[in-house]
Amino acid sequence: MYYMSTRNSELKLKSAEAIKKGLSEDGGLFVPTEIPSLSKAEITKMIRMSYIDRAKLILKKFLTDFTAAEISDCVEGAYGTGFDCEKVAPVVKLSDGKYILELWHGPTCAFKDMALQILPRFMTCAMKKTDEDKKIVILVATSGDTGKAALEGFKDVEGTEIIVFYPGDGVSDIQKLQMITQEGANVYVAGIDGNFDDAQNGVKAIFTDEKFGEKLAKSGFALSSANSINWGRLVPQIVYYISAYCDLLADNEINIGEKINVCVPTGNFGNILAAYYAKKMGLPIAKLICASNRNNVLTDFIKTGEYDKNRPFYQSVSPSMDILISSNLERLLFDICGEDDKKVTSMMGKLAKDGKYKLTKALHKKIESRFWGAYCDDYYTKVQIWKTFTQTGYTLDTHTAVAVDVYEQYVAETGDKTKTVIASTASPYKFNESVLSALGENVDGKSDFELIDMLAEKSKTTPPASLAELKNKEKRFEKVIDKSMMPELVCETLNVKKCSSKS
């Protein structure tokens, strides 16, 4: 199987090349030239398999240039020991017909681990397969969750270095602690005196500075990125939807062939797109329900067919969904346009220039028949956390609560009672302050560690060991630098002399 670009469908790369590159040179995203199918017999066979074996079977269909042994090593390395739950991504029944797919049992307690535990392994494998002689340097600007998940994923991975920049005062205490106590010989973390945009712009400037890139290349380094446009991050996410379906079969909650709905708290559109690909493979999925917070650009897009990012940006209690440009939507557009790269290039051009584009009626109809979208603001997010806890004893994090609320809106509006899997993207412990206040607790003046203990008592659950252990970890990276010093810091970290483009 080959991979093409959403802006050039003639391109033909093997998956190793697509994963190593991350983004196509024409600015497009890599997509497979065909979607492999999943038969009823294969689904039946997977019912009795472990998550790891299911992952091997599914990933092999997409990464055809990887050997079975290579895929096996990647999968076992990623999901073998780093998750605190044997099922890796367990399904919990909330009430009749309503199931929570817990995607946060990895080392950083957010769903990004599902992809970032395996992407670095794909990358080193891809580098060997393509005879890459340079060391890959991963640069990340993070608003919190991605940086830590990338650090955990890349720590001590052969042939890679990772440098993470976070906004000095823009992340929560727990998120900061998670990053500055990071272990590993190939990791580096620095705060910058600015906000997330400054960090992001700084990283982008380094990526696009050709001279800087050449100097790094002379010293044997190549820059790459770990953000969610890389196919190697998207493909592992397809696995858990299929796995969830198999678990529902194993638990006799559904019959083989029975259709389910999937509801996903959405930001960059990666997670829900993985469910869309699972459906295309043949997994019996009826509706894909796209849940947004107050940054509801996707809700409007699904309802009207117009994507318009010209609107205020809100900071919400579900910060990982505070996004106005959902990059992975480009892959969906490419698919529904019948792989028309010219049309996609034109729409993306309009988005870059005017901040908006509009689908034709026919294309909008296609989106509407597959997706349903709605949003939930902070107030109702907190109400949902309280309501679910009171009715079922289950504690939702703020992102998952958005999805549960949107699912309830969906049922109220459509009357559709199809059994539904709701993706749960973070442990409630990661957003403990908002969760506890939603549950009516007084959080004023409490330290993060006191909040962890409070939530454990209130929810009668055990806090993830990785968060509780932070208290005793050595702080390794306390540097906060001026944002203009970011290129210097990259050189210093890599031991490359005088590589600033100014010198």
Which residues are at the interface with ligand PLP (CB under 6 A)? Answer: 110-112, 145, 228, 265-271, 320-321, 399, 425-426
Least spacing, CB of residue 8 vs ligand PLP, in Å: 24
The most distant pair of C-alpha atoms in the chain lies apart, rounded to whole Å, by 66
Q: Which residues pair with 91 in a beta bridge?
A: 101
User: Is there a contact between 444 and 431 (Cβ–Cβ < 8 Å)?
Assistant: no
Sequence-distant (6+) residues with CB within 8 A of 265 are 271, 291, 318, 321, 399, 400, 402, 403, 423, 425
User: Is there a contact between 121 and 209 (Cβ–Cβ < 8 Å)?
Assistant: no
Least spacing, CB of residue 328 vs ligand PLP, in Å: 7
Nearer Cβ to ligand PLP (216/385): 385
Least spacing, CB of residue 432 vs ligand PLP, in Å: 14
User: Is there a contact between 314 and 324 (Cβ–Cβ < 8 Å)?
Assistant: no
Nearer Cβ to ligand PLP (269/389): 269
How many residues in total does the chain contain?
Answer: 503
Assigned token pair, 239: 């696995």
Measured CA to CA in angstroms, residue 321 lies from 159, 270, 444 at distances of 32, 11, 25
Quote the CA–CA distance of 388 and 254 in Å, as a whole number: 23
Which residue type occupies 155?
K
Least spacing, CB of residue 98 vs ligand PLP, in Å: 19
Least spacing, CB of residue 265 vs ligand PLP, in Å: 5
Nearer Cβ to ligand PLP (120/125): 120
Least spacing, CB of residue 446 vs ligand PLP, in Å: 22
Whether residue 20 lies in the annotated active site: no
- The SS3 of residue 104 is coil
Nearer Cβ to ligand PLP (149/249): 149
Beta-sheet pairing, 8-13 with 3-5: antiparallel
Least spacing, CB of residue 274 vs ligand PLP, in Å: 8
Nearest to 205 by CA among 477, 479, 502: 502
Least spacing, CB of residue 443 vs ligand PLP, in Å: 20
Nearer Cβ to ligand PLP (425/459): 425
Which residue type occupies 456?
A
Nearer Cβ to ligand PLP (62/66): 62
Half-sphere CA count of 201, side-chain side, radius 13 A: 9
Full DSSP string of 115-137: HHTTHHHHHHHHHHHTT--SEEE
Half-sphere CA count of 200, side-chain side, radius 13 A: 9
* Segments in 230-359 forming alpha helices (H): 231-250, 270-281, 297-304, 329-336, 341-354
How does DSSP classify residue 324? S
Which residue type occupies 96?
D
Query: Strands, DSSP E only, in 18-170?
Result: 30-32, 91-95, 98-102, 135-141, 160-167
Quote the CA–CA distance of 355 and 349 in Å, as a whole number: 9
Nearer Cβ to ligand PLP (397/408): 397
User: Is there a contact between 400 and 425 (Cβ–Cβ < 8 Å)?
Assistant: yes
What are the φ/ψ torsions at residue 46 (nearest 5 degrees)? -75, -15
Nearest to 98 by CA among 412, 423, 395: 423
Nearer Cβ to ligand PLP (98/148): 148
Residue of 21, 56, 112, 176 marked active site: 112
Nearer Cβ to ligand PLP (228/388): 228
Least spacing, CB of residue 311 vs ligand PLP, in Å: 18
Sequence-distant (6+) residues with CB within 8 A of 497 are 491
Least spacing, CB of residue 145 vs ligand PLP, in Å: 4
Nearer Cβ to ligand PLP (340/377): 377
Quote the CA–CA distance of 480 and 487 in Å, as a whole number: 14
Catalytic residues, which ones?
112
